[in-house]
């Protein structure tokens, strides 16, 4: 009974502190954005996640022509794989 009273007392004291409630909401919003950020603002540009070190170390405005190979198999991805790893090329 005493433990339940302590929880209720903490909850009422916490809810009366407006700065703490706003800070908690801000932290929860930041966590949600971090977890679901890939779905909120997806990057649909081609090869955005591809990095070739030899080309990445060149000076700005360097250009080259790359060939893209066709993929033989199509991988199916579920929601949690995309959430953890992002979409594959």
Give the global pTM.
0.55
Q: Determine whether 38 is exposed, middle or buried from the number of CB atoms within 10 Å of its CB (0-12, 13-18, 19+).
A: middle
Question: What pLDDT, on the 0 to 100 scale, is given for residue 1?
Answer: 60
Question: What pLDDT, on the 0 to 100 scale, is given for residue 63?
Answer: 84
Q: What are the residue ranges of helices labelled H in 17-63? A: 18-40, 53-56
Question: What pLDDT, on the 0 to 100 scale, is given for residue 89?
Answer: 62
Cα dist from 44 to 23, 51, 86, 89, whole Å: 33, 16, 12, 11
Question: What pLDDT, on the 0 to 100 scale, is given for residue 22?
Answer: 97
Question: What pLDDT, on the 0 to 100 scale, is given for residue 83?
Answer: 78
For the chain, how far is it from start to end, CA to CA, in angstroms?
57
Q: What is the mean pLDDT of each run of 10 residues along the chain (89 residues)?
A: 81 93 97 86 70 80 81 75 74
């Amino acid at each position: 009974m005493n433990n339940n009273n302590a929880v209720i007392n903490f909850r009422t004291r916490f809810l009366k502190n407006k700065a703490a409630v706003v800070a908690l909401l801000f932290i929860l919003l930041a966590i949600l954005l971090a977890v679901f950020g890939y779905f909120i603002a997806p990057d649909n540009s081609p090869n955005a996640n591809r990095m070739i070190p030899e080309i990445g170390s060149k000076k700005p405005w360097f250009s080259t022509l790359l060939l893209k190979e066709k993929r033989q198999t199509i991988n199916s991805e579920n929601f949690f794989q995309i959430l953890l790893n992002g979409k594959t090329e």
